Structure 1
């Protein structure tokens, strides 16, 4: 996925969440709904999260330097982890606190129809943003289920927003149910319970995002599909006798480092091995454009290893 596509997803979510946050805060102040206040905090946190992701994209695009020879691509994972912490602390924890306060000291809801109108508009905007994120996620992970696509995606600027928007739609539904029960039954505690439930949804979302981004921060391997295509290229080259090891690591969403240990044909000269290494790098990068760095280590032939081991013993 190109940085341009990622930015489209972020800008769509940013515009929607900013408008929704302002509307929800006004509605919460006017009606006194705790669930609406939790939703307003949720949208405000999401808006700031999009700012962090944009900052991460900009900083991760910086070129390589002497101090960072492999570039700064992994910095986007750090900012995505900050997003997960923000959802947990400012979204989930704040919503639970607000719900607990309203549960202990319930307040009647005024003009509930304003809340219903705001929730309906918010649902439409969030659904549009979710559709944009899902389209980009499906484009990068074709033919996969939603959960498999989320786990397989290496671009947190897309899967973070998809998770945020999904949590937002679920939260809006919970808020609507809580408000309806509080209105019909004249029991404001249902509104407080909805706020607690929204907080729980946000915390679960934050835990999932933190787990996925932590895996990427600590050097996650390329996908099974990418490694399979790499192996296919290597096995199709007759100059390679044996593939000893294939190591990979994501240095960014579309930046894969590949380290390969190969046993070349014993009859090849050093010049021929150098030419083979050059050809392999070119083939691998054309097959998988996300592979940006290829390191090949020629290994001692297996037969010679056995002889060497026998002589030593």
Structure 2
């Protein structure tokens, strides 16, 4: 749970901001009749619901292992992150696109446009504050990695989901402002509807990206190369190990890794000595690599491991 404190802070900040902004936008849309403002209200409402789902997913993922889920419930966070991406697409993008088309086919002039500008300005300020909090947390997580590399390698979808949602929200506010302003200056209310369609495109692209990343995590991504190397180095240092052949690993949560270690033990060892070696490895990994929550050790010769590794590599290329 401690590893999620930064993620929770980001989500709580986004949740509070989005709820207040959504209510303000809906009120402005009601008084002005702006399609773009209504789409922005839906967008903020969806973001509010998404934040709640992420918190729910984190709560469910923190449950300990039980009889029906012996490896724990860590993947619940990945499941709810995928649901968030679907909601952004189905509700956010879908409703915004529908509103845009309706207002283009049956345009209505925007009244009291000044109210929209005030609301958009305040919304940009609040969204920007939430975005900065998410950005600061993600910077701490990414370290020296590039932005897209950090997102691709990240095992915690909660922070980058909020970051992308807030980024989409800021872009949507700019598009909404441009659509309302153009509709007013050019006396073409259809442009307000076009702003809604622009918001729908932004949300659709965001949803597709988030769904792709969440799907990869849900299917199972391996531990980072540096983590795998550290596990192999620890195994190789034990006097009972002749050779640490390799490791197969999968994340079942941001800080939960199941590892399958292939080891060639010294030939003279007895079964109790091998068991004692495995216990030493488990104790060392629990101290030095706490992300390894489950360890399985398979005694194998180097040749057997190489054949297994080659078969996995060939299957990956065919896929």
Considering the TM-score relative to the shorter chain, is it more than 0.5? yes
Cα distance in 2 between the residues matched to 1:95 and 1:301: 58
Cα distance in 1 between the residues matched to 2:228 and 2:303: 23
Offset at 1:283? 2.8
Give the 5 Å matches for 1:1-313. Answer: 2-237=3-238, 239-300=240-301, 302=303
Contact 2:36–2:100 at 8 Å: present in 1 too? yes
List per-residue Cα deviations over 1:124-177 (Å, max 9, x = no partner).
Answer: 111111122222222222112222222222112212111111111111111111
List per-residue Cα deviations over 1:157-215 (Å, max 9, x = no partner).
Answer: 21211111111111111111112212222222221111101001111111111111111
C-alpha spacing 1:291/1:25, structure 2 compared with 1 (3 Å): same
Offset at 1:275? 2.7
Contact 2:71–2:294 at 8 Å: present in 1 too? no
C-alpha spacing 1:280/1:32, structure 2 compared with 1 (3 Å): same
For the residue of structure 2 that corresponds to 1:2, the secondary structure is helix
Q: Which runs of 5+ in 2 are unaligned?
A: 307-319
C-alpha spacing 1:281/1:180, structure 2 compared with 1 (3 Å): same
Q: Which runs of 5+ in 1 are unaligned?
A: 306-313
Moved more, 7-16 or 215-224: 215-224
List per-residue Cα deviations over 1:24-79 (Å, max 9, x = no partner).
Answer: 00111111111111100000001011111111111111221111111111111111
Counterpart for residue 309 of structure 1: none
Contact 1:137–1:153 at 8 Å: present in 2 too? no
Cα distance in 2 between the residues matched to 1:225 and 1:126: 36
Contact 1:266–1:301 at 8 Å: present in 2 too? no
Offset at 1:237? 4.3
What is the aligned length?
Answer: 304
Cα distance in 2 between the residues matched to 1:288 and 1:136: 22
How big is the alpha-carbon RMSD for the aligned residues of Structure 1 and Structure 2?
Answer: 1.9
C-alpha spacing 1:27/1:297, structure 2 compared with 1 (3 Å): same
Cα distance in 1 between the residues matched to 2:177 and 2:232: 52
C-alpha spacing 1:290/1:49, structure 2 compared with 1 (3 Å): same
Contact 1:138–1:149 at 8 Å: present in 2 too? no
Offset at 1:12? 0.7
Moved more, 263-272 or 15-24: 263-272
Cα distance in 2 between the residues matched to 1:225 and 1:104: 56
For the residue of structure 1 that corresponds to 2:263, the secondary structure is strand
Counterpart for residue 310 of structure 1: none
Cα distance in 1 between the residues matched to 2:269 and 2:162: 51
TM-score by length of 1: 0.91
